[in-house]
Chains A and B, each alone.
Chain A
Amino acid sequence: MAEAQRRREGEEWEEQGGAEETEAPKEEAPKEAPKEAPKEAPKEELKEAQKEAQKEAQKEAPKEEAQKEAPKEELKEAPKEELKEAPKEEAQKEAQKEAQKEAPKEELKEELKEAPKEELKEAPKEELKEAQTEAPQTPTRPLLATRSTSSADPDDDSPNMIVYRKIEDIVTRIQDETEGVPIRTVKSFMTKIPSVVTGEECEGTDIVQWLMKNLSMDDPAEAMHIGSLIAAQGYFFPISDHVLCLKDDGTFYRFQAPYFWPSNCWEPENTDYAIYLCKRTMQNKTRLELADYEAENLARLQRAFARKWEFIYMQAEAQVKIDRKKDKTERKILDSQERAFWDVHRPVPGCVNTTEMDIRKCRRMKNPHRVKKSVYGLAEEGTQSHSPVHTPSHHSRKGTREDVEKEILFLNTQLDRHCMKMSKVAESLISYTEQYMEYDPFMTSPEPSNPWTSDDPTFWDLEASKEPSQQRVKKWAFSLEEALKDPAGHELFLKFLESEFSSENLRFWLAVQDLKRVPQQEVAQRAQDIWAEFLAEGAPSSINLDSHSYERASHNLKDPGRYCYEDAQDHIYKLMKSDSYTRFLRSNVYQDLLMARKKPETEQGRRTSLEKFTRSVGKSLTGKRLTGLMQSS
């Protein structure tokens, strides 16, 4: 969907960017992540950490002021500025409720600033739970529950939301003080309060261990797989890498601010991305230097947005100004979170773009108004970019009277149906799987070998040969369907019936099967031929039909179609099943074939089948050798 959006903007950058994404061979390991940041980061982190504790106490005061200062448009700043205080709760509950409705965009932005911040509280968890008025609370939360403490709209059942809720559940629990991972307390000698803002860092191994324990996994690889998925969605990220995946080592990870969570339906425009990259170049910090791919992106964006670059530049400057006012440590954390956000929406080349949605699901996103387009508060531009979909006009029709009446009719037929007992049904399923287990190559290795594994097509050659294997012959006894399905099977069946002079049923059945497949212009003639051969008075191969089927057939013949003998065919099938088929299975022709290919339980048997095997394989070889010899001599 992101691709489609970009295409629609019709910018050169989009074309190239889009093309790159489709053509970039996925074999390339995403090693393009910048290496310069990590060198600086550890030292700086420690310094910042030291300062952070000092700032801790001071943080309360400046926040209030900062809140007043920050203009409405600066969405990014707002979430970080406020700390929850009890009296504010009511206002925020209200805010969140309203956020769920389709409020006008400005207000919506404002409310969403406040609402997601519920998660940032370091206060007791009760407050956190209270804040989520929409979600009913359950004491123990099974992972598959769709209700959670996440900020995703619990009534939104779109496919992505369901997954986001589950992830947000996990992420909230991971950060829990008592049940979560060990958080690196920032400054232990000054104070033991963990970081106020969601800047907590923890190590990769800790996350893997936590996942294994809390999601009952034995295999660390599984935990890493899920962890990497969660990271790819941007819920936590390595502090010194653009590539979003989870590693089972000492790499430090930070949790993403709920403001940036994917459940907020972000679809940031390229203008925003341009502002972001531009901003980064203005700040003189080595850790903020652009990676190669980012520099390339910036260059392309500059070309694409040549006409409005001044505007973008100004926006970037404004952002930088606001950023400067912030506390240094906080700034670092926000920077990393912002970067992680862009790593999700503009991934490193070679990485999976997790924002791509299945186009079949896109258009069904409830609350399309909730889609947030600008991170930096820019008013939406003229073009409404939506993926190529058409307006759904037929969904959720509240039943009309007719509908309900139809439903009642349907339900009545359902009620009349006889439900078979579970035990019987289970038994038939189990016996089916057991009967076919030896024929299932995933359960039993085929003989001589599975051609896919051994690159030896002998198995297929044998199957295609005129001599069916004992295994295959055995299968014909499973059901009439199996016997008829196999050409060798119904050939033998036919032979048997002809010996008894009772082959008309099977021949009729086969003729009708054929009728279903002939080209349209031949249908009428073929149907007549069948009638003449099998059903007419004095027909040469007269079949025994019940009067009902006979009438239907003769009626249908007036306007012959492919399925005019459907009823007759069903009737004949049942006859064969109960009569001629069972006789066939007991017949000498069948039994001889079955026995002659008996599996090696005896020495003799083994030799025979081995002989036959080598004979069939060696035949072609020896044949060639012989002729070769004869030619040469």
Chain B
Amino acid sequence: MLSLGSVGAKSTKPSFVSYVTPEEIKLEKEPPKKEIHPDLLPGEVEFCSANPILKYTQDDLSQRGIFGTLFCTNFRITFISDEISQEETTKTFQNKLYGENDIPLMCVDHIYGVYDEKRKLITGGLVKNKYPSKMIIHCKDLRVFQFCLTYTKEEDAKRIFHGIVHHCLEEKSLKCVFAFSYTWTPSPEMQRKQETILFDSPEDWTQEMKRTKANCRLVTENENFDLSQRLPKYFVIPSALGDLFSYQGKGFPIWCWSHHSGCALFKASLPSVTQEDGDIQKHVDIMINAVAHNYLYSAKTEDLSESLPTIQDIQQSYNKFKQFFLIENSTDFWLSDMKWFSSLESSGWLDIIRQCLQKAVEVVECLEKENTNVLITEEEGTDLCCVISSLVQIMLDPYYRTLMGFQSLVQKEWVAGCHAFLDRCNHLHQKDKECHSPVFLLFLECVWQLVQQHSPAFQFSETYLTVLSDSVHVPVFSTFLFNSPHHRESVMKAESPLAQSSQLSCPTVWDWSVQFDSKAQNFFFNPLYSEKVKNERAVRKPHKLKHQRQLSLPSTAFKTPFKKGFFKDETESLKKMLRVKRLSRWMGSPDSTAAISREFYESWQQRPLDYHGLLLPCLDGPAVRVWMQRYLRWIPEVHILGGGSMAVITKIMELLSQVQDLKRVLEQRDSSQAAKLDHRPYIQHRLLSFGSSGRLSSSFPFSYSRNLSFKPNIPTGLMQCLMVTDSLASQEDEASSFVSLV
């Protein structure tokens, strides 16, 4: 007996129609008064539409729906309700490109068709005359849409279904991506804000070397991609490395970042060392030697393809993991709630996150504690190398924990660093499954773990990370659309005649004004960020170059006794030692590595926490968690009305704005100071006039709770939930009534 009370039945919003009596309802419906059309973006073209389509609303226990028109354009699938927007919720966090009823084509993950109550995965290549009664769309940002096609005319239904399937699932060419049709005019606001370093010019790299005090060599020989198409246009190598053309076709170490001690992190695309090919061996030795020459003649190498999951493992694990969040109805939700923890564990996703963070900590230990150069390698050098090198830099360098620093890091390691976004994200729906993998998402997941453990150390918020993870699938930005800078350049050149002007330009994702107004962008900033007090000025200035590098550890925290000059003139013995090190794999069995880095973590943990110094994640079981905001935001059953971390964030933002107001009052009183102090380009925490912020849902700012009726989500089927079968369950509460208990 499910006692839901009368609440569910009572809500009599005219737009909600029970689907139990569809015929009647259809009769009642007036014929559509006027053709409705979506507001198209510049360059957006409507392909097909159908009306009336019933869209099921999820936030109700009974399956209810809302009638409207479904469109498919070259950018998105969009649903427009027949009702004139019921309640004018002035949304503080509205994406300018797509709304809550829009699905960018690139964001579609899977489409299911329901034929005679049976759910079938649609894979393209359809039988021409069939269409399902219900279409279920799973999105890459984890939204789930359900459309009922039975109320519309047959040919309309067929057309819209085939249209959507064609544009979402069929393999297509890069040319068809909306970014190449989107006629975009840079806003003046944006040009002012170009602060993210794109690493597409030699200057950017020189600056970065200067900032980290690196003494490596900038390579400009690849300007026209003569060296390799799989290498960045510009990059930095150990200065000991000679003529690069002699190594053509083979990988070499690319500089990532230099530690203040002088040692540095390099990554390389090198074949697995297990190969007994003498030539390769020799090449690898030369490379390691070059790395070792960078600082104190010591180097450690780590073959990531050996110690971390493959990209296929990552893909598989994520596929399992995401299923737990693609929830179509309440019953499914409560059913999956029962085996929640073991399901999570079986997907292995959290474990992969832990392994990546663990590996990054190991690398950090080498740089920070032992001051050795580190070379991380993998076959391609652009997947896990990017994950690990970026994580290491975030842990060691507070600059990358600022918003601009983080964006520059993504540019440096991922975009300029040749991560194959197009293939990994499968933007073109290629059938070849080998190369798809959510590597970049894995990186964001790892960053999120750090953010949730050490929130005050980060200038950006988890909302920022969530939005960034969504933006990967918005086909407007050039950032995530290509496999490498070479790919990007060649495509842009080829496509430019098609576009009106000389050079085709897409916005980068970092131009957030394309998606959000400045008010909404405030949610990207973490109100808990503890800014460095001393160089407050320097940090705030848009020019990143001024950013002072901090010693990531105060004093001589963990420094092992310096072995200065130990290796200096012993090139021969050095070679031997290096080889030994490399072959013995730097750390033995996985158990001992865990134990060693455990020690490193503990000694770090015992020092007072400096948010502008070294940051290490806790990796014990309970500490690695699910990114609730990203994965639970669309599931109405878990929305906490008036609660969640957003309640805290908004409160702190409110308080911040009060503090800033008061400061402004003070500054006005002191006019001589006022001019100086009012340079605050971002975070004007003034947006927060929610009135009763106590009533915001925990899923804010992503989904808005429609049901103002405010009723609790009571689990269904509790009995199945917990069957305790042992004898204890049947015992009586009063122990006195039975004889003994052993």
Asked if A and B bind, the verdict is: no
Seen from chain B, the residues whose Cβ lies within 8 Å of a Cβ on chain A are: none
Seen from chain A, the residues whose Cβ lies within 8 Å of a Cβ on chain B are: none
